[in-house]
Amino acid sequence: MIQKTKIWFSLSLIIIVIGMTLLGAKGLNYGIDFKGGNIVTIDMGKGFNQNIKEEVDKIIKKYDPNATTNIANETQIDIKSNVLTNDTINKMFNDVKQKYKLKDNALVSQSNVGPAIGKELKDKALKAFGIATIAMLIYIAMRFELKFGIAAIVALVHDILITLSVYAIFQIPLNSPFIAAILTILGYSINDTIVIFDRIRENKNKMRGKKIEELANESITQTMTRSINTVLTTLFTIVAVYVFVPSVRDFAFPLIIGIVSGAYSSIFIASPVWVMLKKRKSKNKAAA
């Protein structure tokens, strides 16, 4: 695995370069939580399901093609838009009300989110990411060694960039649950990476005299089954949540990307980076 480091790095680099290029050209598709706009909740009554939601979507798209809708609960639908005005919201609601014979009080709520809140969310998210990264680097450096910490942080940055790249490439709307998902990804990814690093540390005493590449390969092989099983069981749960609980899809989708990316980076990014750092130190000692 370590011998194919260039392949693993290239695969990630291709996705990240494409994503960052599109990010620079188009930017992210910020949702209402960041750009500001209106959130409308309509109670559709009994019998509301995914099929009816799709029919309601068609009515809503007439007024705002970029509006997003989510099933809030068994009877209600949430509509998010930064284009709709009070006038168009009333027209839209009247269309829905007439088609499904709803009562006047079916318009449960209508609220406005200002762009200032979105800026505050982004600032707090960056602070949270920075604090979490520094804290994890310090912990890993104390628990293992600094090179392990650097390799783990490189893997974390990789996971964030991959997730952002997917959102930039496919222009997926990005709302506040994305921030919670990103912080969850950080915790999950670092946990998987530490499992491998812990095995490397154990094997260093058992495999004295072995090359760094052999040590890393053996440690990865020993933890591979555990890593795959953990990822699959977690993915089954998150995918089920994404499919059957539409109201939390904004949180579940980036989590799916991050879990897959985190599993990949723990094996194919973090460990090879640690090997590169160790070999560089050895070369510097030899040169000295």
Which residue among 113, 139, 155 closes a domain?
A: 113
The domain in which residue 214 lies consists of 2-30+117-287
What digits encode the pLDDT tens for the residues 147-165? 999 999 999 999 999 999 9
pTM value > 0.85 = no
**Strand, coil or helix: what is 278?**
helix
Is 21 in the same domain as 134? yes
Which residue among 94, 113, 132 closes a domain?
A: 113
Residues in Cβ contact with 172 at an 8 Å cutoff, skipping those fewer than 6 apart:
29, 166, 253
Is 130 in the same domain as 241? yes
Record the tokens describing residue 255, joined without a space: 């989590």
Is 106 in the same domain as 125? no
**Strand, coil or helix: what is 239?**
helix
Is 126 in the same domain as 24? yes
Give CA torsion, residues 135, 140, 146, 150, to 10 deg.
Answer: -70
What digits encode the pLDDT tens for the residues 75-121? 889 898 888 888 999 999 999 999 988 988 899 988 887 765 567 77
- Can you give the CATH number for the domain in which 246 is found? 1.20.1640.10
Record the tokens describing residue 165, joined without a space: 């790249």
- Total structural domains within the chain: 2
Give the other-Cβ count within 10 Å of 125's Cβ: 16
Record the tokens describing residue 140, joined without a space: 């890993």
Which residue among 79, 113, 147 closes a domain?
A: 113
User: Alpha-carbon distance 160 to 126, whole Å?
Assistant: 12
